Structure formats: structure tokens, C-alpha cells
Structure 1
Amino acid sequence: MEGEKAPAVEVCKGVNGLDKVVLREARDCSAEVYLYGGHVTSWKNDGEELLFVSNKAIFKPPKAIRGGIPICFPQFSNFGSLEQHGFARNKQWSIDTDPPPFPTVTSSRAFVDLILKPSEEDLKIWPNSYEFRLRVTLGPGGDLMLTSRIRNTNTEGKTFSFTFAYHTYFFVSDISEVRVEGLETLDYLDNLQERKRFTEQGDAVVFESEVDKIYLSTPAKLAILDHEKKRTFVLRKDGLPDAVVWNPWDKKAKAMADFGDDEYKHMVCVEAAAIEKPIELKPNEEWTGRLELSAVPSSYFSGHYFSGQLDPEKVLQSSSI
């Protein structure tokens, strides 16, 4: 941070006076995290925004913020008794001033620890005691890391289970020019067909209409190739075996009040998740789910990420370098 006047971590006010934390690193890299929802709403490298947030997003509780990285807990989707995607994304989190040690020590000064605990009202909706700790880190090279630790704090010996997703909205130049690599040949559940199970036939996931799929037993690394930007997002994940791919396309976009009619063209959700097999925690047990995001020029990206699954020539052809 030599020569940088801005602090690495700053607590300030965001849209509608909501509290947020701004993380800064060298090379004009930054991230913004709202305490409402424990919600990352911005991630910039060299000053360029990498996450999508709708221009119609409603920064007003109890509505979840449309875009960025909503946290889906304790349920993904609306197949349980709770509201869609659970309640963590529309609760007020606190800055955790005394977190227990993290298994990995970061060299970055730009991180914030947040914590969510259930209120008495929350316990009526989901009668389980827990501590949800979230660390958001901006690495020196501009990588964004989210580490979630969920502990069962029930004192009466009660086990609970949950599903989870980092519902990441990536900003892309043109959805029709985007490919998601690393999911080929895998089984998926199609949310547009009552979660029926299929096997991915394409050599990549491409977008010509609405897509809403839960890929199962996915690799630890995935990639999103934005042909027009000549940029590749790389996702590395741990503790999160599934991956959701979603784009609402035109009809769904028009039906959402907090989403612009044409904004589907400039976003894609690729979500690190644990959905098919719910996480089960006994009292005092803790689960960790980690996501690391990086953005690199497509010319730097080669097939070693996928042990040969990805054709390096295809990626190189999409680069101007």
C-alpha cells in the first residue's frame, strides 16, 4: 500500500444510509461489503467493476439487494419452509471484533470479519442457534475471497442441516458471448424442469435462453470466459461441491421489479454452492465454505486449470494479446 493514502479498511455509509465497509488494495482494487445481508456489492480491479448490481436494486430492508454476492443460508431456492434463499441476505450483520483464528492467515490488510447470530424472532422462524462468521478479503493482487464459517451453538444437543450458496452476479459485456468452462459432462438439476436430472452435453455452458441449473459434484475450479472483454473469471471453491448457473433472460427480467428489462445481457450468476446434500452440523461442529475469485486476461488462462478439459487454443484465439 506504499503511496496509497486511502485506508485499507473503511467503515462508511452507502446507499440510503446503510452501513458498508470498503476494502482497498494497490492498483486501484477495491471491494464493498454492506452490513445489511453481509452482502458484497462491488469488486473492482484497476478501477473496473467486476460484479453486476442492478440499476433498479432496492437498498432498503427487508428487500435483498439485487446483484453482487448475496449469501443464501440456511436454504437455497424456495423448496423449504423459509423464504426463497433463506434469510441471511436480508439480516443486519455486525462487524466481528474478536473472531476465533482462521485456518489460513492472510497477508492482506484489506479484510473484514462479520458475524450473524439469530435474534429471538429468527428462532421462531428457524429454531436453531448458530454463529455465522464471514471474512471478506481483498488480496494484494485484487483477488476477492469469501470464507464462511457456520457453527452449531445449540445447547440442547440438537443437530441442524442447511443448504448454502454464494449467489455471485458477474458483470459481463454480452451474455451471448460468454462461456462457462469446467462443467462439461457433469450431471445437473434443471430448475426449469422441476429439478429433473440431466447430463451436460456441451463442451461449455453457453447462453441462448433462460438457464437455471444446479451442477453436481463440480471441480474446485471453474471459469467464465467473456469473449468481448477478453477476460476470464476464475472461481476456486472449497467445501462447496455444487455450482449454480443462472441467467433469467428477457421474460423473467421484465417480471422482476428490481431488475432492468435488458440487464440480463450484462450478467451471469455462477454460484459456489452446497445444495444436493445438505450440510449437517452437530452441536459445536463447524462448517467452512470458501470462495476465491480472480479476473485475468484470457491470454493468461490455460488448460492446466482443468487438467486438459479446456482447449487452450480456443482461449488464446479469444485474446488480442
Structure 2
Amino acid sequence: MNHSGSASEQSQRGAVEVVKDKHGIQQVVLQNHRGASVRVSLYGGQVLSWRNDRGEELLFTSSKAIFKPPKAVRGGIPICFPQFGNRGSLEQHGFARNKVWVIDKNPPPLHPNDSIGKAYIDLLLKPSEEDLKIWPHSFEFRLRVSLAADGYLTLISRIRNINCKPFSFSFAYHTYLSISDISEVRIEGLETLDYLDNLCQKERFTEQGDALTFEAEVDRVYLSSSDVVAVFDHERKRTFIVRKEGLPDVVVWNPWEKKSKSMVDFGDEEYKQMLCVNGAAVEKPITLKPGEEWTGRLELSVVPSS
């Protein structure tokens, strides 16, 4: 894979390697010079793995995940587009996570900060004839996945309307974080926010706690949140920092015991080791006029904490 750039940039940038999984699906492995890595599947444009420089996996993937189309993989970071949730004739969470993406040979230039010292890959999704029958809107979806020298993982989605009429969509980076124990985790940055509770017919409530902790199933859309949310994992003494732009909402999900047992691609006890904290645009769909482009950015990092 030939990305242009000076020799010093190349040495800083880290490695990009294209491999195939056992089903013949292409995957891209990004590695920085410290040994952190990210694995992205062209099936769904989905990040399947993000490891720090000690080789520890930071994302959760179910031991029962199905890595074979047409099923979306349970774990990592599925991309939910053009909808999040269940509406109308579209499949749950849209079709982007079930399509084969291609490596984008002519990516648009991004801000210099988005490429310096990073290993990155640009992917592209365009609708097929079949897709246009289900969702009759022409778009170009460009996704850049990058791994920085400091191990930060960034996903930048750029969706352009190449239709002659406007269209609307909702969106989420459905991020499965790997945690030690759901009972030992708390989220800060959602205090005082309104949220829609999917377990109560999307009824609207206001968050009363100064941090969110977990004792039962949670499925909520926090509205108009700040652009930084922190997930504290006490046992592992580490904190995930979730930064987002262009994504006003945060979806928080843990299926707990009962729902876990009803999911074929999820272990009965695995809810204890995962937590979904998703940068999203759910409540107010994004509308693009012809020729318009939307950008949604997610940055994940991990810092030591007490």
C-alpha cells in the first residue's frame, strides 16, 4: 500500500498491512512504532481490534461472534448507518456494517494533524443497485481509521450526498469497550443530561447521578452531550476517554443477564466484560442537501487512573 510522504514521515507513520481472514475477507492491520495495533475489516468497515503497546485488547468482541456475512460482527466498532435502532424497512442499525467496503485510492485531503505520525487507512462505501432499492439515496461514505503514535484510535466518517434531493440519516459508532467488570465501572460526563430510555418506550428522563454506574440492563440515548466522556475502570486502573465531534448524542448499552441469554452471538456471562459507549446522532437525524457533506469524528484513548 503506497501512501506518499517523506522518508521521515514514513518511519514515524507506522505500518499498514492488508491481510485476509479465514473467510477471505480483507482486513487492514495498522501498527504504530511502539507496537500498538488496530485491525479493520473491509466487511462493515469495522474495527475489530485495538491493542495498546503491551498487546492488551481494549475493545470487546464476543467469543460467540459470527465473522461471516451477512451477520454483523458482535463487538469492536460496528458503524450504524443510515439508521441507529429499528425503523421502517431497513435492517436494525442500517446496512453499512453488513457491506463490503473498498480501500479508497483517492481520499480527500484531511487536516495535517490527522495524518502526522499515524498509521491510517481510508475506506469507501457507495450504494449498490440493491441498496438503492432499500434506501433510494446516492451517497459516498468515506471512513478514515487511524492509529496515532500515542496509541489513540480515531475514526473520521465523511458522508456526502450525491443525490439530486436531500436525505436524512442517523448514525452511531457502536463502540464495545473491554472492561474488567461491569459492576466496577463508572461513566462521567453525562451528569444532568436528558436521555431517552429504550427500556421505557424511549421515554425522556434526566440523569440525576454524578456518575453512571451499572446494576441492571441499560439502554439509553443521552442527548446533546459534551464532546468528552470518561469511562473509569477501577479494577484495571485505566480510563477510556471518548472524544467526539459532529455527534451530539451518547448511547450507553449493557444487555445484562437476561438479554445476554437471548442473543445467539453473545456469551451468557459476557455482559460483565463489555460496555457500549457510542458517539451518535440519533435524536435529531442529520439532513444533507445535494452536494453537502457531514463529518463525524470519534477519538478513543486510554489513560492510567487510580
In the superposition, the TM-score normalised over structure 1's length comes to: 0.90
Aligned twin of 2:116:
107
Q: Does 1:193 align with 2:200?
A: yes
Q: Does 1:153 align with 2:162?
A: yes
Q: How do 1:71-220 residues align onto structure 2 when only pairs under 5 Å count?
A: 71-104=79-112, 105-154=114-163, 157-220=164-227
Identity fraction in percent: 68
After superposition, the Cα gap between the structure-2 partners of 1:272 and 1:7, relative to the gap in structure 1 and judged at 3 Å, is closer
Give the superposed CA RMSD. Answer: 1.5
Q: Does 1:282 align with 2:289?
A: yes
Aligned twin of 2:70:
62
Q: Is residue 188–residue 230 contact of structure 2 (8 Å, CA) maintained in 1?
A: yes
Alignment-mate amino acid for residue 69 of structure 1: I
Aligned twin of 2:303:
296
Q: How far apart are the structure 2 equivalents of 1:218 and 1:15?
A: 40
**1:18 deviation in Å?**
1.7
**1:7 deviation in Å?**
6.3
Q: Is residue 191–residue 211 contact of structure 2 (8 Å, CA) maintained in 1?
A: yes
Q: Is residue 160–residue 291 contact of structure 2 (8 Å, CA) maintained in 1?
A: yes
Q: Is residue 14–residue 117 contact of structure 2 (8 Å, CA) maintained in 1?
A: no
What per-residue deviation string (whole Å, max 9, x for no partner) do you get for residues 102-134 of structure 1? 235420341000000000010000000000000
**1:144 deviation in Å?**
0.1
Aligned twin of 1:311:
none
Q: Is residue 15–residue 59 contact of structure 1 (8 Å, CA) maintained in 2?
A: no
Alignment-mate amino acid for residue 112 of structure 1: I
- Structure 1: 4+ residue segments shifted above 4 A: none
Name stretches of at least 5 consecutive residues in structure 2 with no aligned partner.
1-7
**1:15 deviation in Å?**
4.2
**1:79 deviation in Å?**
2.6
Q: How far apart are the structure 2 equivalents of 1:273 and 1:10?
A: 29
Aligned twin of 2:5:
none
Q: Is residue 108–residue 137 contact of structure 1 (8 Å, CA) maintained in 2?
A: no
Aligned twin of 1:28:
35
Alignment-mate amino acid for residue 78 of structure 1: N
Q: How far apart are the structure 1 equivalents of 2:276 and 2:89?
A: 24
How many residues are matched? 295
Q: How far apart are the structure 1 equivalents of 2:299 and 2:219?
A: 22
Q: How do 1:217-236 residues align onto structure 2 when only pairs under 5 Å count?
A: 217-236=224-243
After superposition, the Cα gap between the structure-2 partners of 1:190 and 1:48, relative to the gap in structure 1 and judged at 3 Å, is same
State the secondary structure of the residue aligned to 1:97.
Answer: coil
Q: How far apart are the structure 2 equivalents of 1:170 and 1:255?
A: 21
Q: Does 1:246 align with 2:224?
A: no
After superposition, the Cα gap between the structure-2 partners of 1:294 and 1:15, relative to the gap in structure 1 and judged at 3 Å, is farther
State the secondary structure of the residue aligned to 2:131.
Answer: helix
Q: How far apart are the structure 2 equivalents of 1:28 and 1:262?
A: 31
Q: Is residue 14–residue 33 contact of structure 2 (8 Å, CA) maintained in 1?
A: no
Q: Is residue 44–residue 79 contact of structure 2 (8 Å, CA) maintained in 1?
A: yes
Q: How far apart are the structure 2 equivalents of 1:45 and 1:38?
A: 21
Q: Is residue 66–residue 259 contact of structure 1 (8 Å, CA) maintained in 2?
A: yes
After superposition, the Cα gap between the structure-2 partners of 1:227 and 1:15, relative to the gap in structure 1 and judged at 3 Å, is farther
**1:101 deviation in Å?**
1.3
Aligned twin of 2:3:
none
Q: How far apart are the structure 1 equivalents of 2:194 and 2:87?
A: 20
State the secondary structure of the residue aligned to 2:298.
Answer: strand
Name stretches of at least 5 consecutive residues in structure 1 with no aligned partner.
299-318
**1:100 deviation in Å?**
1.5
State the secondary structure of the residue aligned to 2:159.
Answer: strand
Q: Is residue 14–residue 118 contact of structure 2 (8 Å, CA) maintained in 1?
A: no
Q: How far apart are the structure 2 equivalents of 1:278 and 1:103?
A: 26
Q: How far apart are the structure 2 equivalents of 1:182 and 1:109?
A: 28
